């Protein structure tokens, strides 16, 4: 057995301390490992694999505690919803602000740490190349044999592929990291030169997506369909099928499956940004890949969570936010690397409007996005420019169930648990309103608020209460693949009835009427490819809200400039002069409560104007990496 450490190339080393990684995917202390001392023992080799998970698995939540320890998970101190039309953070010092103001670039792109992802790719390659050297022995904890070796290599290949995918959807074609960096000597016109491979130059978009699909295809046969409960978060066969399906859907989409990218180098290098041709068959491949996910899920007990006892709204809530609930068979893969979120953690302090929140960091949903919701009958949820508070409450009571799972609107409960009672979590009168139209804000109800919502407050993920020990990022959720399947089928054949079947699975769980002849949406959209396309986009926006799909969906569709710029609108309550609004007391009669509500009215107002330039279809590479002379920066950056 012979291994080399290449000078100048970082190889990871895990400090193998007793108990350093007692829970699967808990990130161990230390980040450096020696090769020979690790791969001579199954226990140590598995710790290396866990470290690969820690550097490669995707996460969408703010991490750390008390404002510190922020990572590239999410958008620094907020969810990615805050950098697109899904959401907002108020203060200009929030990390999301530069995306809305158009001031982000190569030196301050904090959403995605490309250098860390490259290191994760290298970590995966180290494991893949050295797993074969682990002796076939039993340690009592692991029995290392060909099956386990092939399975763990497959897990690492998935992790390698997912880091390439996450990089590709941001940058376009990237350097393909398919082996541990090493020095090779080559002859160049009689001169021997040392070359580091794999090459650090960007590869075409076509080569990049095909590499991801290849990794998935190589991993799928060796991955298990299920794991014991103690291994929650490990990559199963469904995860690799899901990554392949997402990759094919992404590359089939119009912004990339084209001869002309949204922004061009202008000098023949556009193969880094798009395929350079249009291949309609990619939509068929995407449909087949999504169908493979749905078929696998059906065979192994995965299904959309639609529990009668929970109801439609909470079924959606639990499907997205309660991975460990026994009723939830919807999540295919979660990020289990975070041990849970406790008092003061950034998950709570940055997101919740009434619990440990830093002022101005609370997340809200602007009316630009609220317009996508429907009422319970499937009709548009149309909020007028102004009106009375009782009219607003009546309108929102008729909103589709997912509305109340995703946003916290005035007059409704934030949570059904007792965890936030001291701060009015279950108090329907806990609101923010202006003392007069356009004047200062007043808080009604007990506890604290973290400032006004510019639209409605975020509720998804955080509405179960402040102490969230069981919240984990949903990497893949079954609902996504019904939507993928419908989208791809519509591009292949808009008259395919399986489009409607896939969408009905989502609609029925969401509490909307079934699509069928006589239904207005069905009659308008089925068989009309353009109208069905727009309907699917709308359904996808709601169902996958705040799960890091929207910013990249808008890019792959070529729609970003239509939704990511211009005026963004809020809804504010205010005292209308007919009386002084008071926090209702438990002793009040229904008549007095209703009269009290009439003292408030609402109006819509523009709270900011956002900036978008088409160069933002592609992230800029970090300037420090470009300065090394290998990476070609994306155009106009």
Q: What is the pLDDT of residues 532-566, one digit of tens each?
A: 999 999 999 999 999 999 999 999 999 999 999 99
Please report the DSSP string for 126-164 in residue order.
Answer: HHHHHGGGS-S-B-SS-B-SHHHHHHHHHHHHHHHHHHH
Confidence category of residue 580, pLDDT binned at 50, 70, 90: very high
Element (H, E) at 508: helix 498-509
Question: For residues 606-615, b (16+ Cβ closer than 10 Å) or e, as one string?
Answer: ebbebebeeb
What is the three-class DSSP state of 174?
A: coil
Q: CB under 8 Å to 279, separation ≥6 — which residues?
A: 252, 257
| Contact between 219 and 147 (Cβ < 8 Å) | no
The pLDDT value given to residue 192: 84
* Residue 444: inside a domain: yes
- The DSSP call for residue 180 is -
* Residue 152: inside a domain: no
The pLDDT value given to residue 66: 53
Q: Pinpoint the alpha helices (H) of 407-495.
A: 478-492
| Contact between 105 and 611 (Cβ < 8 Å) | no
Q: What is the pLDDT of residues 412-444, one digit of tens each?
A: 988 877 667 777 778 888 899 999 999 999 988
Compare 85 and 426 and report the one with higher pLDDT.
85
Q: Which of 115, 112, 69 is nearest to 548 (CA)?
A: 112
Residue 577 is part of which domain span? 355-413+415-458+567-610
Instruction: Give the chain's end-to-end CA distance (angstroms, integer).
Output: 46
- The stretch 22-43 carries a mean pLDDT of 58
* Residue 221: inside a domain: no
- The stretch 266-278 carries a mean pLDDT of 97
State the average pLDDT for the chain.
88
Total domains in the fold of the chain: 1
* Residue 591: inside a domain: yes
* Residue 62: inside a domain: no
Q: Say what the pTM is.
A: 0.92
Q: Whole-angstrom Cα distance, residue 254 to residue 258?
A: 6
265: pLDDT strictly greater than 80: yes
The pLDDT value given to residue 467: 47
Question: For residues 513-531, b (16+ Cβ closer than 10 Å) or e, as one string?
Answer: bebeeebebbeebbeeeee
| Contact between 513 and 519 (Cβ < 8 Å) | yes
* Residue 179: inside a domain: no
Q: Whole-angstrom Cα distance, residue 121 to residue 113?
A: 13
* Residue 630: inside a domain: no
Count of other CB atoms within 10 angstroms of residue 1: 9
* Residue 208: inside a domain: no
């Amino acid at each position: 057995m012979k291994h080399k450490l290449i000078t100048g190339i970082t190889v990871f080393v895990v400090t193998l301390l007793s108990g350093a990684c007692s829970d699967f995917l808990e990130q161990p202390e230390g980040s450096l490992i020696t090769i020979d001392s690790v791969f001579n023992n199954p226990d140590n080799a598995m710790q290396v694999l866990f470290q690969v998970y820690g550097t490669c698995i995707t996460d969408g939540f703010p991490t750390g505690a008390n404002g510190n320890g922020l990572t590239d998970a999410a958008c620094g101190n907020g969810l990615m919803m805050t950098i697109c039309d899904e959401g907002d953070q108020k203060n200009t010092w929030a990390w999301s602000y530069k995306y809305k103001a158009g001031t982000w670039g190569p030196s301050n792109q904090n959403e995605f740490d490309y250098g860390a992802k490259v290191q994760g790719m290298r970590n995966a390659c180290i494991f893949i190349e050295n797993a074969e050297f682990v002796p076939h022995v039993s340690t009592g904890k692991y029995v290392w044999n060909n099956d386990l070796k092939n399975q763990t290599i497959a897990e690492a290949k998935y992790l390698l592929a997912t880091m390439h995918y996450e990089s590709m959807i941001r940058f376009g074609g990237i350097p393909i990291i398919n082996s541990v960096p090493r020095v090779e000597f080559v002859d160049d016109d009689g001169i021997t030169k040392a070359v580091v491979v794999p090459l650090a130059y960007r590869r075409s978009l076509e080569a990049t997506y095909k590499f991801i699909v290849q990794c998935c295809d190589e991993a799928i046969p060796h991955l298990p369909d299920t794991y014991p409960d103690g291994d929650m978060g490990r990559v199963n066969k469904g995860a690799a099928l899901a990554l392949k399906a997402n990759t094919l859907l992404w590359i089939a989409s119009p912004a990339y499956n084209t001869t002309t990218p949204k922004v061009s180098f202008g000098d023949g290098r556009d193969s880094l940004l798009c395929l350079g041709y249009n291949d309609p068959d990619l939509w068929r491949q995407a449909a087949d890949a999504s169908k493979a996910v749905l078929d696998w899920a059906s065979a192994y007990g995965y299904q959309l969570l639609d529990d009668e006892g929970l109801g439609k709204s909470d079924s959606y809530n639990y499907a997205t936010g309660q991975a460990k609930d026994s009723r939830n068979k919807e999540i295919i893969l979660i990020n289990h690397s975070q041990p849970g979120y406790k008092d003061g953690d950034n998950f709570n302090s940055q997101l919740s409007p009434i619990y440990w929140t830093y002022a101005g960091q609370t997340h809200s949903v602007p009316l630009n996005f609220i317009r996508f919701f429907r009422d319970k009958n499937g009709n548009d949820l149309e909020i007028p420019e102004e009106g009375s508070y009782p009219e607003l409450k009546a309108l929102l009571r008729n909103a589709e169930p997912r509305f109340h799972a995703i946003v916290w609107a005035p007059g409704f409960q934030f949570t059904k648990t007792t965890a936030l009672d001291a701060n009015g979590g279950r108090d329907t009168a806990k609101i923010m309103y202006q003392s007069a139209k356009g004047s200062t804000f007043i808080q009604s109800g007990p506890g604290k608020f973290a400032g006004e919502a510019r639209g409605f407050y975020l509720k998804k993920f955080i509405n179960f209460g402040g102490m969230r020990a069981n919240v984990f990022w949903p990497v893949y959720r079954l609902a996504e693949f019904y939507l993928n399947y419908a989208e791809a089928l519509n591009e292949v054949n808009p008259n395919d009835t399986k489009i409607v079947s896939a969408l009905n699975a989502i609609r029925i769980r969401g509490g909307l009427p079934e699509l069928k002849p006589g239904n207005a949406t069905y009659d308008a959209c089925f068989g009309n490819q353009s109208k069905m396309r727009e309907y699917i986009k709308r359904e996808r926006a709601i169902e996958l809200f705040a799960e890091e799909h929207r910013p990249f969906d808008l890019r792959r569709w070529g729609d970003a400039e239509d939704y990511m710029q211009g005026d963004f609108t809020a809804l504010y309550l205010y005292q209308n002069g007919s009386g002084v609004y008071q926090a209702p007391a438990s002793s009040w009669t229904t008549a007095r409560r209703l009269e009290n509500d009439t003292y408030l009215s609402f109006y819509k107002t523009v709270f900011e104007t956002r900036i978008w330039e088409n160069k933002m279809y592609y992230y800029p590479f970090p300037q420090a990496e470009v300065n090394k002379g290998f990476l070609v920066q994306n155009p106009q950056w």
